[in-house]
Amino acid sequence: MRILLLGANGQLGHELLRALAPLGEVAAATREGALADGGACLAADLADPASLAGALRDARAELIVNAAAYTAVDRAESEPELAGRINRQAVAEIGAFARASGARVVHYSTDYVFDGSATRPYREDDPTGPLGVYGRSKLGGEEALRESGVHHWIFRTAWVYAARGHNFLRTMLRLGAEREELRVVADQVGAPTAARWIAEATATALDRGTDVGSGTWHCVAGGRCSWHEFAGAIMAGAVRRGLLARAPQVLPIASAEYPTPARRPAWSVLDASKLEAAFGIQSISWREGLDAVLDEIAGQDPARS
């Protein structure tokens, strides 16, 4: 199978490049036309319709995996056109191309399509209600892909992090080395989910789900925690592995004490039972995922932790 991977330099795309390799010939595409290691690849800038169309045409893919997205949640409030172009219109173009060429599409969405007012884990068919530009643009992408009529799988995920890239884990490790005290939001709850696990779950689904039709699934780690609890677990795990000499004090604060341009959902817990039912994929706990990523950063064998 020939696979086009869009967004191959992102934290999820980087992991997908490895996870998808056993399934076929992977043609990677990045905005710059180069991989993080300097190797050449296809150029696909989702902000540029001509660039995207060229990559789709040149790849001649049977499967298009879209890991590219506009993810700057706060900046999206002042760049709604760009967020909409990348997260909604480009996805519509991918869907239309794939429908015409007979390809399938795997696409990733987010907990931000919900308003965060629930009191139980969100199911895939629960009403959506994004709070800001980013969430609306991602929901628009979901809707555009469904409306295209292409065979598609949408995986919603949340609180994604990895050993590389810009994410909460990396920020906490940097600040933990610089400061004696950190103040972290404690009234937003979700399930931190490692990009590597999402990539491996995607590959497993593709391997097992040859007869599964179009649909939307929640692809997240098990359990739940606040950002404050996640930060505390990061610090403790980093100290155990020698990534930090000592753990700073991590103090809980309310979201109102850390104002941002975009509102965040207070509740981002997603129910992943439908993913298990369709593909036999069981979510790992968020703590297990964190341990694996910290082991990766520390260069340790997981059996040693």
Helix, strand or coil, per DSSP, at residue 3: strand
Residue 235 and residue 123 in contact, taking contact as beta carbons nearer than 8 Å: no
193 is written with which tokens?
């989910």
Element (H, E) at 5: strand 2-6
Q: Give the tokens for residue 171.
A: 């920020």
Cβ-contact 226, 187 below 8 angstroms? yes
SS3 156: strand
Please state, in angstroms and rounded to a whole number, the distance separating the CA atoms of residues 21 and 196.
Answer: 14
Helices (H), the chain: 11-19, 49-59, 80-84, 90-101, 133-148, 168-178, 195-208, 227-240, 273-279, 286-298
Amino acid at 137: S
The rounded distance, in Å, linking the Cα atoms of 292 and 18 is 16
Query: Looking at the annotation, which residues are catalytic?
Result: 134
Identify whether the C-beta of residue 65 lies closer than 8 Å to the C-beta of residue 18: no
Residue 194 φ/ψ, nearest 5 degrees? -75, 135
* Phi, psi (degrees; rounded to nearest 5) at 65: -110, 115
Q: Cβ(138)–Cβ(112) under 8 Å? A: yes
Question: Which phi and psi (to 5°) does residue 171 adopt?
Answer: -65, -45
